[in-house]
Amino acid sequence: MRLKVVVVTVLLVAALSYYIYTPLPDAIQEPWKLMVVDAGFRTAMNLATLKHQLGLDHYITSVRHTLEGFDSTVTALQGSESTVGVVPGVKVSDVTFAGIPVRVYEPPAGGEGHLRRGLMYLHGGGWAFGSGKVGSHDKMSRMISDELNTVVVSVEYRLFPEVHFPEPFLDCVAAAKHFLSAEVLAKYAIDPERVAVSGDSAGGNLAAAVAQEISTDDSMSVTFSVQALIYPALQALDFNTPSYVQNHNMAILSRQLMVQFWLQYLGADISVEPQLIANNHSAMQQLALTSELRSRLDWTTLLTQKFKKTYTPVVVERDSHGLLKKVPGFLDVRSSPLLAGPEVLAKCPRAYILTCEYDVLRDDGLMYARRLQDAGVSVASDYYEDGFHGCLSFTSWPMDFDVGKRALRGFVNWLQNNL
């Protein structure tokens, strides 16, 4: 009997190890910790998909509940460590800007007689998950507000499946215009020449798009002075850039999952996912995709050899599905800021762009940095050779990574010196 128990235990441990194990690059520190995080996320997605197929709940809703439970569990495990995110004196208020829910963080130093910095932050989560009110985003906002004497506005834009593009973008633009109004800046004692927009991942996409929209709106008397983009998603036409190919099965964010996020955001049928992975939607026959547009995301000219490596472009001649006509969002600069023309980029604020080697979105950020520089915009780039997508969200025990702490400190230091 005892032997059977031992055998069963060994088999269960082996099965669990097999499920958790994901091949990771040697440069990744503490790989088993990242594997556990990734396995947890995959499990949440798989169980949610099963519930969705059984008609019990929408899978996005299920994953949200799981992530909320995970965040609560981590907070409980941290115990006294959870106070790391609670900064004494930072005033937190949940209000609305132009009807959009936002959380405002006001620094303890106050604004009496002194103007403060302002920062609008847009959280990531594939336009489907996340909130600036909890977890790492909340802790980061509190820290920035306190350390940099900054009024941080975290926007709770609407998510999929409740809405699709362009609604999240429009929510962020509405909140931004309200934030930049003379009345609101005066209310919070914010220096109108020191206001930034920032975001990570899908939030980085929204931050870049909002920065473009505000910069080219002649009705705005105050615009953002800087933009800080953290591993942003900036285009949905080429899913075979070197970083997409290199990291197609990377933990946290695979190519398949990123394509799924894009299709959901743009309101497209998920069944066409294989067409996008093959780049069929951006075939040469697509008249709407002109040579000028193609040049704006041509990684063979926008990336250095260090990142091009030995990869070759995936170019398809014919697309039998006509996806660009069915889903016009693919070519909309409001969803794909990398497609903006040089005349738009030239009006954009100074930029900080953070990229990670082991991230499918690495090349999106690198190409945007190059295009902004070519348009005459000052760009500071932080590239982490041992970084992975989402690392900035893993800075607190028990899911803390050194690269996440370094990335967060680099981001905050740049804001301190440039905002």
Q: What type of residue is 218? A: D
> 285 in helix, strand or coil?
coil
Query: Do the Cβ atoms of 359 and 295 come closer than 8 Å?
Result: no
Task: Identify which of 204, 173, 179, 201 has the alpha carbon closest to the alpha carbon of residue 118.
Answer: 179
Q: Are 228 and 411 in contact (CB under 8 A)?
A: yes
The set of catalytic residues is 201
Distance CA 231, CA 235 (A): 12
Task: Give kind and range of the element (H or E) at residue 35.
Answer: helix 31-53
Burial (Cβ within 10 Å: 0-12, 13-18, ≥19) of residue 25: middle
What are residue 155's phi and psi, to 5 degrees? -95, 130
Distances 120 to 102, 111, 135, 154, 224 between C-alpha atoms, Å? 10, 18, 18, 6, 9
143 vs 341: CA distance, rounded Å: 36
